[in-house]
Amino acid sequence: MLTIGIELNHVVRNINRQILKNYAKEFDPSLEWEDLDDKVDIFKKYLKFESKYEKNNFLYIDYPFEIFGACPAMDKNLPRDINNWLAEIENMEDEDIRIIFYSLDEVALTIQSSYFFLSKIGSRVRKVIFPTNLDEVWKECDAVITARNEFFEKEKPEGKKIVLINREFNEQHKDEADLNYDSLSDIITDNNFFNKVKE
């Protein structure tokens, strides 16, 4: 069986867009968040917190549902396309492919908010995990679809694949990834994707 893990943030849900929206509400009503580029590192480019405590309080205590639960999908039709893709995978003959969702850096209220997000988009992915570190992700997955830089900070296990969703904040790792795409929608429409992962 080939298990492919799809990260929620920056791949399925537009977490940056939702953080910007709620940051403007809480800290800076003059911030024209709808005009900002959500494919950059928003914490470095746009947001200012007095301390890590203030940042974590905002994300995990004050606005977990608004950010992690009420978040929009990356593309309007992505939830529908994911479910159609899953149906196609199930109908593939001579293929044993499993898709799971995972989300790192989640605690307490964000986990239940993420379950709400998944129910809101009508997810039919059978398995969802909330690992506490990358090793837990690799134990479950043969390949990961991610925009996260951390996957490149230490050597990946032998035989594993990293499929990078290109963003400005991860462009330094573009050449290190096994595959590159601009969005999950691009992966879904690539009829050779699974063959590329298995190569």
**Does 179 lie in the same domain as 82?**
yes
Question: What confidence score (pLDDT) does residue 93 get?
Answer: 78
Question: What confidence score (pLDDT) does residue 199 get?
Answer: 85
Determine the Cα–Cα distance for residues 144 and 122; give it in Å rounded to an integer. 22
CB 162 within 8 A of CB 177: yes
- Amino acid making up residue 174: K
**Does 33 lie in the same domain as 125?**
no
DSSP character for 180? Answer: E
**Does 164 lie in the same domain as 180?**
yes
Q: Residue 103: phi, psi to the nearest 5? A: -150, 120
- Structural domain that includes position 58: 15-69
Last residue in a domain, options 69, 94, 112: 69
Question: What confidence score (pLDDT) does residue 160 get?
Answer: 97
- Based on the structure, what is the number of domains in the chain? 2
Question: What confidence score (pLDDT) does residue 19 get?
Answer: 97
Full-model pTM: 0.94
**Residue in 158, 161, 149 with CA at minimum distance from that of residue 196:** 161
**Does 185 lie in the same domain as 100?**
yes
Determine the Cα–Cα distance for residues 100 and 144; give it in Å rounded to an integer. 10
CB 170 within 8 A of CB 182: no
pLDDT tens, per residue, the chain with 199 residues: 899 999 999 999 999 999 999 999 999 999 999 999 999 999 999 999 999 999 999 999 999 999 999 999 999 999 999 999 999 999 887 779 999 999 999 999 999 999 999 999 999 999 999 999 999 999 999 999 999 999 999 899 999 999 999 999 999 999 999 999 999 999 999 999 999 999 8
